[in-house]
């Protein structure tokens, strides 16, 4: 799998006020040389029979850093696992369904990826999913707190701006919260930004790295085009249009699917990339960077924020600052904050009820 080729990778530790370091894009050949020795790595996918869960599980079945793939879903997961288990890659596939089997999926897992929950239909916002998905995430993270309290948890289920705070409260209540081990998956925003910018400027995709910060809904998604690598220039109108396209890309897919769900294949690709980066960090690979929505002090007053983070043996080893924003980005940051904070608080309030 060549996901690593386009992984966000920065050469040095960044910090607030500095421009984020340029990507040191690893080629497949050099990656093969530097690939860490694989220890036993069990990855659990919760919601594995869904639109994201199935292709994500396939990509993880192809990943040399994974030794066991535990698939959990409330429906249809045994068939998905039987199907996947016939692929002749060494990853052992196991299947679990229903509350009684959740423990088996989670026991011994080092990474838990959660795409469980309902997707949007046209006309809905991600926040409209809150009423259903908040409870699903709460239940699954409660089980993870009990059965794999040290695992890294990566949440895909929307609204990410609220489900990650819910998860943090659940983990706190269970006495096992480690902010380095809880991440909201915003990789798809970066994947999209890289694709759209490369298309607009005729750049080779493997060289393009656009940090995307903030959150994962509408105006809370803020691509830092001024920090793109390689450096790109946009007129004011182009910058505004590109920012809006990246912010509305999820809706673009929801509308194109016309009621049949939201992004699944690109999301599976993005989550597989995030999982691979996480496993590389766990394995001690240096200089692994991704953008993710994490417990953060990057922006005063917002307890969670997406920005570039370094991944290491403990999970998030460093949350990087935002670097220098231009006036457009500063205004966009100011505009998003009330909405982002409200969505975070909504999650916290729900979990504390």
Query: Which among 216, 273, 308, 341 is annotated as catalytic?
Result: 216
CB of 69 within 8 A of CB of 45?
yes
Q: Which of 44, 73, 279, 291 binds ligand NAI (CB under 6 A)?
A: 73
Indicate whether 156 belongs to the interface with ligand NAI (CB under 6 A): yes
Indicate whether 312 belongs to the interface with ligand OAA (CB under 6 A): no
Q: Which positions ≥6 away from 140 have C-beta within 8 Å?
A: 46, 102, 114, 116
Indicate whether 158 belongs to the interface with ligand OAA (CB under 6 A): yes
Q: Examine the residue annotation and report whether 147 is marked as an active-site residue of this protein.
A: no
Q: Which does 307 bind (CB under 5 to 8 A by kind): ligand NAI, ligand OAA, none?
A: none
Give, as ranges, the residues between 266 and 295 that touch ligand OAA (CB under 6 A).
none
Indicate whether 194 belongs to the interface with ligand NAI (CB under 6 A): no
Query: Which DSSP string corresponds to 170-219?
Result: HHHHTT---GGGEEE--HHHHHHHHHHHHHHHT--GGG-B--EEE-SSGG
Closer by beta carbon to ligand OAA, 158 or else 307 = 158
Q: In the complex, what is the shortest distance from the CB of residue 311 to ligand NAI, in angstroms, rounded to a whole number?
A: 17
Long-range CB contacts for residues 7-11, cutoff 8 Å, separation at least 24? 7/273, 7/276, 7/277, 7/288, 7/290, 8/190, 8/209, 8/211, 8/277, 8/289, 8/290, 8/291, 8/308, 9/287, 9/288, 9/289, 10/287, 10/289, 10/308, 10/310, 10/320, 11/287
User: 133 among the known binding-site residues?
Assistant: yes
Closer by beta carbon to ligand OAA, 70 or else 222 = 222
Q: Which does 254 bind (CB under 5 to 8 A by kind): ligand NAI, ligand OAA, none?
A: ligand OAA
Indicate whether 49 belongs to the interface with ligand NAI (CB under 6 A): yes
The residues annotated as belonging to the active site are 216
Q: Which stretches of the chain bind ligand OAA, using CB under 6 A?
A: 119-120, 126, 158, 188, 250-251, 253-254, 262-263
């Amino acid at each position: 799998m060549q996901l690593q080729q386009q992984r966000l990778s920065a050469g040095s530790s960044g910090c607030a006020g500095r421009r984020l370091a340029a990507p040191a894009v690893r080629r497949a050949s050099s990656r093969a040389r530097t690939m860490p020795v694989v220890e036993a790595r069990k990855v659990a996918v919760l919601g594995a029979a869904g639109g994201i869960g199935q292709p994500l599980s396939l990509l993880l079945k192809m990943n040399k850093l994974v030794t066991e793939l535990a698939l959990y879903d409330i429906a249809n997961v045994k068939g998905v696992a039987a199907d996947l288990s016939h692929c002749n890659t060494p990853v052992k596939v196991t299947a679990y369904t229903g509350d009684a089997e959740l423990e088996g999926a989670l026991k011994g897992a080092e990474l838990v990826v959660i795409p469980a929950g309902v997707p949007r239909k046209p006309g809905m916002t991600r926040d409209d999913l809150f009423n259903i998905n908040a409870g699903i995430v709460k239940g699954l993270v409660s089980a993870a707190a009990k059965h794999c309290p040290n695992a890294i948890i990566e949440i895909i289920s929307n609204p990410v701006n609220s489900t990650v705070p819910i998860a943090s409260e659940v983990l706190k209540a269970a006495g096992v919260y480690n902010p380095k081990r809880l991440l909201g998956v915003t990789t798809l925003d970066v994947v999209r930004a890289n694709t759209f910018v490369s298309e607009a400027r005729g750049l080779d995709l493997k060289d393009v790295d656009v940090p995307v910060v903030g959150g994962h809904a509408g105006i809370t998604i803020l691509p830092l085009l001024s920090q793109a690598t390689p450096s790109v220039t946009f007129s004011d109108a182009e910058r505004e249009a590109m920012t809006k396209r990246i912010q509305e890309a999820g809706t673009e897919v929801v509308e194109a699917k016309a009621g049949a769900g939201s992004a699944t294949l690109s999301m599976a690709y993005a989550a597989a990339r995030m999982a691979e980066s996480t496993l590389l960090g766990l394995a001690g690979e240096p200089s692994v960077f991704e953008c993710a929505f994490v417990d953060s002090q990057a922006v005063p007053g917002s307890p969670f924020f997406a920005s570039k983070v370094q991944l290491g043996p403990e999970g998030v080893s460093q949350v990087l600052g935002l670097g220098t924003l231009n006036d457009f980005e500063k205004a966009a940051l100011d505009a998003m904050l009330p909405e982002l904070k409200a969505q975070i608080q909504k999650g916290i309030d729900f979990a504390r009820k």
